[in-house]
Amino acid sequence: MQLIDNHYEMQGISLVSLTQEFGTPLYVYDAAKITEQISNLNEAFAGLNLKLKYAAKALTNLNILKLMKKNGVGLDVVSLQEIHIGLKAGFEPSQIMFTPNCVPFSEIEEAVAIGVNINIDNLPFLAAFGEKYGHEKGVCIRINPHIVAGGNDKIKTGHAESKFGISIVQIEEVYATAKKYNLLVEGLHVHTGSDFSDVEVFMQSAELVFGVARNFAELKFIDFGSGFKVAYKKGDKTTNLQELGSKMKVAFTAFTEAYGKNLEIWFEPGKYLVSDAGVLLAETTVVKPTPATTFVGVNTGLNHLIRPMMYDAYHDIVNISNPHGEHKKYSVVGYICETDTFGWERDLTTVNQGDIIAFKNAGAYGFSMSSNYNSRFRPAEVLVNNGVAKLVRKRETLEDILSTTVEVDV
């Protein structure tokens, strides 16, 4: 999304014109930005045997997955449903990593039957996997390093109280379970949390995993998760990929030389690939002056973009209908019957009823966390690729909402 002369555009297409064609609220994604982010990661870790696995939960639109595949990126999925969407997008099972949490063991069995990579994060399931498959099927083990990293507490996953991964304190039990069942341990996984910016903390978790890896002779890869931080506003500190890549190349190369095998290094970027590529466009329904503030009400809410309410996340907000107007302070709020404030006392150009408001960095965990709260429809999605805008998800209808309802006599 760029301001060119008097209008905001994406790949030469006016964003306001997209709302006129497809309506609002509307998610719009920039394919060129996604491919640029993929290139940034490939460049940062050049020289290593790198495999990228897109964290599909960030944005699961089938066409986004196809774009990832076209650019040589595999998938990291957390549900059977995401597995099947990935297969429909054309991925081979071997290109998919399944990293579930607190699911029934039957989901693990179904995923094994499909042929995807399995990542297990608790001791009971590791034993159950060993009892059923022994050395027959490969497995990856997720380690909780007890390292605090990331942004909001809800997205920190590597600390001692986290539900994710097998505690590093329990590593001897991991070794014992692997030996007892002769497990074919092909990978190790660690993910400290999303939005980390401290490279040294990341390297601490890497060294810890290297120590564990020396106890498994049949590894094919080590998966370091992701969590690369993106900028949500000017001045935000982000993950220094050049520094991380440089240090990881030295550390990973030294480890693989000592290990005696050129292992693959995996990362699972989600937000990093799609966040800045997406924008949510909404129409101003009312400008409401009050003694406390002037509210800008829009025809969207926490049912379409819940991150500001759930994570206190900051999203830059722009009035794209009046890019050069006088600047004033507004509080931008949604139309849901809850307090769904997108931003309090934000500096916007003068807003009038009918103006289009853009929420930036909305590509990750925007539509994928949307709902039908208040029985509202989820929005349409558009992908801009090679200068052409295409509808990639229709706006929901009342029939869609009612489609799974079963009417009975009451």
Identify which of 360, 276, 389 has the alpha carbon closest to the alpha carbon of residue 13.
Answer: 389
- C-alpha to C-alpha distance for 152 and 313, rounded to whole angstroms: 8
Among 173, 271, 169, 160, CA closest to 225: 271
pLDDT of 53 > 90? The answer is yes
Tokens found for residue 151: 């942004």
Whether 337 is catalytic is yes
- Residue 159 reports pLDDT greater than 70: no
**What average pLDDT does this structure show over 235-239?**
84
Per-residue pLDDT at 351: 98
Q: Is the pLDDT of residue 152 over 60?
A: no
Q: State which CATH number among 3.30.70.890, 3.40.640.10, 2.60.40.10, 3.20.20.10 fits the domain covering 45-274.
A: 3.20.20.10
Quick check: 150 pLDDT over 60? Answer: no
Q: In the prediction, which pLDDT does 194 show?
A: 63
Contact 311, 342 (CB under 8 A): no
Question: Cis omega (within 30 of 0) on the bond before 124?
Answer: no
Give the least confident one: 98-107, 203-212, 269-278, 371-380.
203-212
How many CB atoms within 10 Å of residue 201? Answer: 18
d(CA 211, CA 203): 12
The residue assigned the tokens 């973009």 is 305
Tokens matching residue 283: 């129409």
Average pLDDT of the chain is: 93
- When pLDDT is averaged across residues 195-223 and rounded to a whole number, the result is 89
Residue 341 — very low, low, confident or very high, per pLDDT cuts 50/70/90? very high
Amino acid identity, residue 11?
Q
d(C-alpha 246, C-alpha 377), whole Å: 46
| Residues in Cβ contact with 280 at an 8 Å cutoff, skipping those fewer than 6 apart | 25, 26, 27, 300, 304, 305, 358, 359, 362, 366, 379
Q: Is 367 helix (H, G, I), strand (E, B) or coil?
A: helix
For tokens 């120590």, the residue is: 211
* Predicted TM-score of the model (pTM): 0.93
pLDDT category, 259, cuts 50, 70, 90?
A: very high
Q: Which of 28-42, 150-164, 239-253 has the lowest mean pLDDT?
A: 150-164
- Determine the average pLDDT of the residues in 218-236: 90
pLDDT at 111 over 50: yes
Per the DSSP assignment, residues forming a β-bridge with 319 are 357
pLDDT reported for residue 200: 86
Using the predicted structure, report yes or no on whether residue 394 has a pLDDT greater than 80. Answer: yes
| Coil, strand or helix at 211 | helix
Please give the pLDDT value at position 151. 46
Tokens of 390: 């295409």
**H or E element that contains 202:** helix 199-213
pLDDT at 319: 98
Q: What is the pLDDT of residue 235?
A: 81
Q: pLDDT tens-digit profile of 160-208?
A: 677 889 999 999 999 999 999 999 999 999 987 666 677 888 888 899 9
Q: Could you tell me if 221 and 186 are in contact, meaning their C-beta atoms sit under 8 angstroms apart?
A: yes
Query: Which of 19-33, 58-72, 194-208, 273-287 has the weakest average pLDDT?
Result: 194-208
For the chain, which residues make up each domain, given as ranges?
2-29+277-402, 45-274
CB neighbour list of residue 366: distance below 8 Å, 6 or more residues apart: 27, 59, 278, 280, 304, 305, 307
- Out of 149-153, 287-291, 370-374, pick the least confident: 149-153
Answer whether 2-29+277-402 and 45-274 agree in fold: no
CATH 2.40.110.10 is right for the domain spanning 2-29+277-402: no
Instruction: Render pLDDT for 115-133 as a digit per residue (tens, 0 to 9).
Output: 999 999 999 999 999 999 9
Which one is catalytic: 102, 337, 406, 410? 337
Q: Does 3 or 279 have the greater pLDDT score?
A: 279
Which helix or strand (DSSP H or E) is residue 144 part of? strand 138-144
Instruction: Tell whether the model's pLDDT for residue 142 goes beyond 60.
Output: yes
